[in-house]
Chain A
Amino acid sequence: MSSQTDLSITELSDDIRAAIAELKKRPEIESVGIITRVGDGVAWIYGLSAAGYNEMLEIEGVNGKKVTAFAFNLSEDEIGAVLLGEDTDVRAGATVRLSGAVLEVPVGPELVGRVVDPLGRPLDGGDPIKAKQNSRVERQAPGVLDRRSVYEPLMTGITAIDAMVPIGRGQRELIIGDRQTGKTAIAVDTMVNQAKQETGVVNVYVAIGQKLSKIAALQERLRREGVMDQTIIVATSPADPAALLYLAPYAGCAMGEYFRDNKQHSLIIYDDLTKHAQAYRQMSLLLRRPPGREAYPGDVFYLHSRLLERASKLNDELGGGSLTALPIIETQAGEVSAYIPTNVISITDGQIYLETNLFYQGIRPAISVGLSVSRVGGSAQTKAVKAAGGGLKLALAQFRELAAFSQFSTDLDEETRHTIERGQRLTELLKQPQYSPYSIWEMYTSLYAATEGAFDKVPLEKIKPAEQALHRELKSKHAKLVDALNTGDKPTDAQNDTIMKAAKSVAQTYEAEESRKAAISADKAEDRKSANG
C-alpha cells in the first residue's frame, strides 16, 4: 500500500493498464445483460451498456433455446431489442450476451433459385444454403465518386413502360397504385423478361408480409417460366414477427448488392414498402418512440431513403455493376398524397402509376400515362424504342383530353376524330397480357406501324390480332430485320419501309374482312326488310 505522498498519476495509470492487460488474458470475463421485460416481439435489457446500434444479441431462451435479437433502442438505462424469434421463448430474467457483430446475411450465387427468409434460411425445403460470403444487412450506399449515371436500359418487356417510362439499370422506379391494379404483375413481368431476353440480370424479389400461398404460386409460376434459375425470393408472411418484415428489404438488398459489386446486374423488387413502413411503425411504437404523422416515427423517410439509395449504377473502375430497384407502394383509394407514397415518390427516380378505372376498363397494364414518369430512364432507352415511342406519350395525352371533351359533342371535325381514333388504337395496342413480355423488335414494329397510321382502318377489336399477325409475318419472312432491330439501334429507312409494307398488307386483310362482314350484315338487313315488306 502506498501513502498519500507516494501517489503518482503516472504510476497509477501504468498499474491499471498492466492490470487490464493481465485480466484480458482471462477468458471467463464477459459482458452480460438481463431481460427485464418482454412482449410483442420486443425485449428490454438491463446492462450491456457497450452494445452497439443494430448489434446482434444472443438471449438464453426457454429450454436452452438461443433466441437472436438486435439492439434497436440504446437508452441511458436500458436497451430495447427486437426479437427475431418467438417472444414466448424468452422470459424475464434471461441472460443476454453481445455477439460483437451486426446483422449479416449469406450472399452469393448459392442463393440464386432459392426462397429464403430475411436471415438467409431456406424456406423452400431445399438443402441448407452454404454461401461462401456474408454481407451486412445495413450497408452504406455507394458514394458519388463510385457511381456513374444511368445509361443502360433495363427492359421490362412491357411496351407501355419501355416506350413511355423507360427504366435504366441502377434506377429506382416506383410502382404505385391501389390494391388489385396489377403492381406485382408488372414487377413479375419485368423478371420474366430478364429470363426471356437472356439479359443475365439476377432478380431479387422481396415479399414483405405477403401471403405464403401467393409466394408459393409466384415461385411455381417463375419456375415454369424458367425465371427461378436467376431469381432469389426473400419471403416474409404476415405471421412473421415485425422485425423480420422490417429486415426483409435490407437483407434482399444485401443479396442484390453482391451481384452489383461483382460486375453483374441485378434487379430488386420490394413488394411492398407500405407494409414495410407499417412493420417499422409497429416496432417503433412498441419501443415507445414518439409517433408522428399517421403514427409513423420521425425517421420513416430515412427508413426508405437509405434502402433505395443503395440501388445504383457503379462506375467502370468498380466493375460497372448495377442494382435496379422497383419498390411497390399500395395506395388507398388512389390517394398518392398520403405520407408514405409521397415519401417514396420523392426518393425514387420516377413512378409508374396504376389506375383502378383503367384496370376495370380492360386497359392492362393499367398505367396512367399522365401521372407516370421516369426521371432518368430516357438516357437509357434503346434508340429504336425511343424513335418509335417519342410522341406516344403526347399523342395519348391529347387523345385522353379530346376523348373526355368529345363525350359532350356529336359533331367532331376530321382532325379531332382522327386523333381520337389513333389514340384508341394506340391504347388498344399497349394492352398486353401477363407473362408475355415483348422483345425490342416487337415493340418497335407495333409502335411504328400504329404511329405511322398502318392500322388506322383496322377495326378496334382487331388491333391485337393484327399486331400479332404482323409479328408472325416479320418473324417468318424477315428474320434478319428482326435480329437487326433487336440490337436496339435506330432503324434505317429501308427497314422502316419493310415494316410498313408488312403492316399495310396485314392491315388490309383485317380491313377486307371487316368490309366483307359489313356487306354481309347489310345484305341480311336488306333481306329482313324485304321479308317484312
Chain B
Amino acid sequence: MEMDAIRAGKVKQLAGADLADEDLSHADLSRVNLAGATLNGASLHRANLSGAILDGASLMGCQLVEANLRANLLGANLMQADLTEADLRGANLRGANLMQSRLAHTALAGAFLSGANLMGVSLSGVDLRGADLRGANLSGANLSGANLTQADLQGAILSEANLEEADLRDANLAGANLTGANLLCADLEGANLNGTTLVSACLKGTVLEKT
C-alpha cells in the first residue's frame, strides 16, 4: 500500500527512507524529497525524478535507464548505477560518485559535476555541452567523441583520459591536468589553455587555435 502511494508520487517526504531493491520503475517521484535515502539496487527505469532532492542519497547499482534525473544529487553515491540514456541535463551532481556507472548516451548538458568522481567511466559520445566539470576527476575516462563545447574543466583531472575526436571548442581547460591524455583529432579551438598540463599527451590532428 505504502509502496503504491510512493510510486504514484503521493508521498513527498522520503528523506532518509530505505527503498533499497524496490521496483520504482515508471514511478512519478518529481519534486519528492529523497535526501539521504537509500536506493541501492532499486529499479528506477523511466522514473520521473525531475526536481527531486537526492542530496547525499545512495543509489549504488541503481537501474536508472531513461530516467528523468534533472534533480539535486549533491554528493550522491551513484557507483555502478546504470544511467544509460538518462536525462541529467542541468542536474546538480557536485561531488557525486559516479565510478563504474554506465553513462551511454546519458544527457549531461549543463550538468553541475564539479568535484565529481568520474574516474575511468565511459562517456564516449556523450552530450556534455556547457557542463560544469571544475575539479572533477576524469582520469582514465573515455571521452572519445564527447561533446564538451563550452564545458568548464578548470582544474579537472584528465590524466590518461581518452579525448579522441572530442569537441572541446570554447571549453575552459585552465589548470587542467591532461598528462598522457589522448587528444587525437580533438578540437580545442577557442579553448582556454592557461596552465594546462599536456605532458606526453597525444596531439596529432588536434586543433589548437585561438578564435
Q: Do A and B make up one complex?
A: no
Q: What residues make up the interface of A, taking CB atoms closer than 8 Å to B?
A: none
Q: What residues make up the interface of B, taking CB atoms closer than 8 Å to A?
A: none
